[in-house]
Each structure stands twice: as structure tokens, then as C-alpha cells.
Amino acid sequence: MENFTFYSPTRFEFGHEAEKKTGELIRMFGGTKVLLHYGGGSIRQNGIYGKVIAALTAADVQFAELGGVVPNPRSGLVYQGIEKVRKEGIDFILAVGGGSVIDSAKAIAAGAKYDGDFLDFYRGKAKIADAIPIGTVLTIAAAGSEGSPNSVITDEENKVKKGAMSDFLRPKFSVMNPEFTCSLPPYQTAAGATDIFIHVCERYFSNTKEVSITDRLCESVMKTIVYETPRVLRDPDNYEARANIMWAGMIAHNNICGVGRTQDWASHHIEHELSAQYDVTHGAGLAVIVPAWMKYVLPIHPEKFVPFATEVWGVPLDMVNPIETAMRGIERFEAFLKQIGMPSTFSDIGAKKSDIPTMVERLFSKKETEGNYVKLSRDDVTKIYESVADQ
């Protein structure tokens, strides 16, 4: 195991009616004037908006609003948010939504405390040194942004989707009421579950030895997603299944499963090019890329694919031919993705073979290799894209 620092100071309020505490939590963390940030309208349709407003009013918290965050959140709204925060003297941002809303809130929070262009943080040109505190009311289990130090924003001018990371971006608190996720369309539920599963894969596929504690944690989160996702798709109002998926989403990405080991992240970066180019739902893009990545790297470096097959998918170990065992695991993973309605090819997500060189060029604009479990070259990534490019 490698040395590590683990810092995860977010306070989580989880369960029935947890949102009632939102106003007092903002006060606890020093907020006096809040920016209520949200997406495209789902929170008005499912009643979450009214519940949050009631909690703010009950705690006598003043607020201004900025809605309109779209999935794969854009830089344009972040600039508007920064201006609003400065003009209205806002000292706390409350994100009510999913990863897109939370990431946009994080970008505004850091950008408002910075004299230059906030995209400098996402272009690797500047380091976040301060941010307005943020809190979240989570409405979809997926990105894990409610407990992560990350934010991913699309620079809409250049069609580039990049991440920034800083402990200043960790939410002060996250309110997690699993009932809030019952109104999700099945496709979003499944895409979220896929993202959660793959946040764990990015950490599980590691070359670091002797990390049995995090390996076992990873396997248990993956098995939970495999068990609970079909259950919740059959029975969308199943509170217990929603609760387990929601907490899995946090555990999968606050890095408790990733400490002390090298992590991969090639699949995420390869997928972000797809979301930037075609505005694909992130989890759906991952469903196309990850099995392709697995089949490509398996012959080069099979080691972790064997426990992946036996521990997560229950494949019996073939001692004579462990590669066969590993392959069965990948096949079961693919069957699971199909069962929950996730796409598997470029045509399913509207991507085009002719754009592969552009995406590869963007991905490698500042680096020579991608990922760690196997270090991929431009040629490798091109082949991974091509293996699922049927149009």
C-alpha cells in the first residue's frame, strides 16, 4: 500500500426528510446569503424545489436563484453565476441537483474568488486557492460530486470537457434523501448506476500490490450496484434499493475506495471526449467505452480481471485458463449493462467513426499516455474507439 492523505470533511445528512435540515446546515457553515443553483426544471416537477425553499425560509436564510444548468454543464452559465455571486454579495452556494449542478456550483465557487478566467483551473493553468463554501441537496445517485473534490465543466467555445480538483471544492454538507431519486427516468437511474460502478473500476484496476482492504471495499460497492440496479428499475419507488445506490455513489467517489493505490481513469478521460463532442449522458458513454477498454487491456495485463470475474460476477475460477475466467467476467458485465438498458456502440449514442482522430487529438493535447493500469498510447485509444465505432 502507498502512503496517502485522506481528507473527506463533508457532513452527510441522509434519509427521510433530510432536506428539512438544509437551512440550519447553511447557517452552521456560516452562510448568510445563498445562491440556489439548479438544473432544467426536474426539481420543480417533483416537488424538491418547494421542500428546499421551505427549509431555507424556516431557517430565515436569504437566497437568490440561478437555474438552467444542463447535463455536461457549460462554462457560459458559470460566468453568469460568478457575476451574480459578486454583485449580490453571496457567501454560500447551494446546489440542488446532480453532478452537473454540483460541478457548476463548484466552478462558480472557485471562480468567484479568482481574478482570472475560472477555466484556468480546468486547463491546468492555475491552482484553486480559495472557494465560496458550497452545500448540496442531491437528486440523482451518479457522479459522486456530493462528496468529491472534483468538478467537470465543458468549455463550450472549444468543445473541451475537463476536470478541476481541490479540497476547497468539497461540499461542506450534502443532504441525501433517497426518495428524491424516485422521480428519475429509468435511463438516468441506469446511467447513474453505471457511473458509480465505473468510479470503482477506475480505482480497482490498479498495479499497487497488497491493497486488500480497498479491493474488498471496491468489490462490495460493485456487487451492491449489480444487485440493486435491476431491483430499482423493476420497482422505482423501492426506498431501500434507492438508499443503497445513493450511498454507494458517495462511497464510490469520495476516494475511500481509492486511497493507497495508483488509479487508472483512462476510461473516464476517453468518455469525456464523447460527452464533449456529442453531449452524451456520461454514464451511457462509459457503458460504451469501459467494456471496450477491458477487452483491449485484458491480454496485455490480465491480473485484476480474474478477481473482478470471480468476486464481483461470481464466475468460477478456471485454474488452467484464468484468462477464460477473466473473459467471462467481462461478458457478464456487458450483459448487465444491456439488461439495465445501457448502450454499447457508437451508433447507440450518435457518435461517428470519422470524429475519432479529433477526439484522440484533444485527449492527447497535453500528454503522451493515458491511464495507469496499462499506459495507453494514441494508437491504443484509437483502437479502443474503433472497436465500438459501427458508424
Interface residue list for ligand NZQ (CB under 6 A): 39-43, 46, 71-73, 97-101, 103, 139-140, 142-145, 148, 150-152, 180-181, 183-184, 188, 192, 195, 253, 268, 275, 282-283
Q: Which is nearer to ligand NZQ, 195 or 273 (CB)?
A: 195
The least CB distance from residue 372 to ligand NZQ, in Å, is 16
Q: Which is nearer to ligand NZQ, 261 or 328 (CB)?
A: 261
Q: Which is nearer to ligand NZQ, 192 or 291 (CB)?
A: 192
The least CB distance from residue 199 to ligand NZQ, in Å, is 6
Residue 183's binding partner out of Zn ion, ligand NZQ, none, with CB under 5 to 8 Å set by partner kind: ligand NZQ
Q: How many CA atoms does the CB half-sphere of 7 hold within 13 Å?
A: 9
Q: Which is nearer to ligand NZQ, 43 or 78 (CB)?
A: 43
Residue 152's binding partner out of Zn ion, ligand NZQ, none, with CB under 5 to 8 Å set by partner kind: ligand NZQ
Give residue 192's Cα distance to chain centre.
8
Q: Which is nearer to ligand NZQ, 67 or 302 (CB)?
A: 67
The least CB distance from residue 197 to Zn ion, in Å, is 10
- Cα–Cα distance, 295 to 226 (Å, whole number): 20
The least CB distance from residue 59 to ligand NZQ, in Å, is 23
- Cα–Cα distance, 203 to 192 (Å, whole number): 17
Gyration radius from the chain CA atoms:
20
- Cα–Cα distance, 195 to 283 (Å, whole number): 5
Residue 244's binding partner out of ligand NZQ, Zn ion, none, with CB under 5 to 8 Å set by partner kind: none
Residue 229's binding partner out of ligand NZQ, Zn ion, none, with CB under 5 to 8 Å set by partner kind: none
Q: Which is nearer to ligand NZQ, 143 or 312 (CB)?
A: 143
CB 139 within 8 A of CB 188: no
Q: Which is nearer to ligand NZQ, 183 or 347 (CB)?
A: 183
Residue 148's binding partner out of Zn ion, ligand NZQ, none, with CB under 5 to 8 Å set by partner kind: ligand NZQ
Closest listed residue to residue 389, CA positions, set 360, 358, 351, 363:
351
CB 257 within 8 A of CB 216: no
**For residue 63, what is its C-alpha cell?**
437566497
The least CB distance from residue 154 to ligand NZQ, in Å, is 7
The least CB distance from residue 139 to ligand NZQ, in Å, is 4
Residue 299's binding partner out of ligand NZQ, Zn ion, none, with CB under 5 to 8 Å set by partner kind: none
Contacting residues toward Zn ion, per CB under 5 A: 195
The least CB distance from residue 382 to ligand NZQ, in Å, is 22
The least CB distance from residue 166 to Zn ion, in Å, is 18
Residue 39's binding partner out of Zn ion, ligand NZQ, none, with CB under 5 to 8 Å set by partner kind: ligand NZQ
Residue 140's binding partner out of Zn ion, ligand NZQ, none, with CB under 5 to 8 Å set by partner kind: ligand NZQ
Q: Which is nearer to ligand NZQ, 191 or 326 (CB)?
A: 191
CB 253 within 8 A of CB 98: no
